[in-house]
Every structure is written in C-alpha cells, then in structure tokens.
Amino acid sequence: MKNSNLVISILKRLLGVIFLVLNYLCYGVMIALAADSDLSSNERIIYPILVYLLSWGFLLAGIYLAGPEIVNKIKYYYNLVKSKFIKGKHDDKKT
C-alpha cells in the first residue's frame, strides 16, 4: 500500500510538471496564431486569447499537482539564472 501511494504521488507531480511545461509552450502557439496570415483578423485575436486562457488552466493545474516543493525548486533555478544574467550586465557597466 505504501508503494502505491508513492507511485501515485510521483505520477501526480510528473503530470503537474508536464502541465507547467505546456503552459510555457502555449505562448509560442499564441505567437504563431497571431502571426498566421491565413486567419482573419478576428481569428488572430480570438484564438490567442483562448490559448492564453488555456495556459492559465495549465499553470494552475500544474502548480496544484506538482506541489510546492517542485515549484520552489523551479523558482530557485530561475532566480539563479536571472542573477547570473543581472550580474553579467552589472559587470559590463563597471568597465
């Protein structure tokens, strides 16, 4: 019984991470839809809005399923990368 709970927990977190990745992929789809010249002007507005709403659903579901530990780990790596870029920009200004 203990192993089945562990497997379910891991699968739930994996599904949450997949939803978080899908959230970021939605932004590329929104840009592609907005730039598609085959669509009418109304479709180029409505479809990206619908994809944006879908991306919020993916984000909320991903955060709920992935759990706070994984979200904190993603934030940690994001801040680590961001600090390296900001640190590099400040070094260029000093010289």
Chain segment 68-92, per-residue pLDDT in tens: 777 788 889 889 988 888 876 555 5
For the chain, what are the domain ranges? 2-67
Q: Classify burial at 29, counting beta carbons within 10 Å of its beta carbon; exposed 0-12, middle 13-18, buried 19 or more.
A: middle
pTM exceeds 0.85 for this model: no
Give me the amino acid identity at 70: I
Chain segment 9-30, per-residue pLDDT in tens: 888 889 998 998 999 999 999 9
Q: What is the pLDDT of residue 95?
A: 47
- Helix ranges, the chain (H): 2-35, 41-94
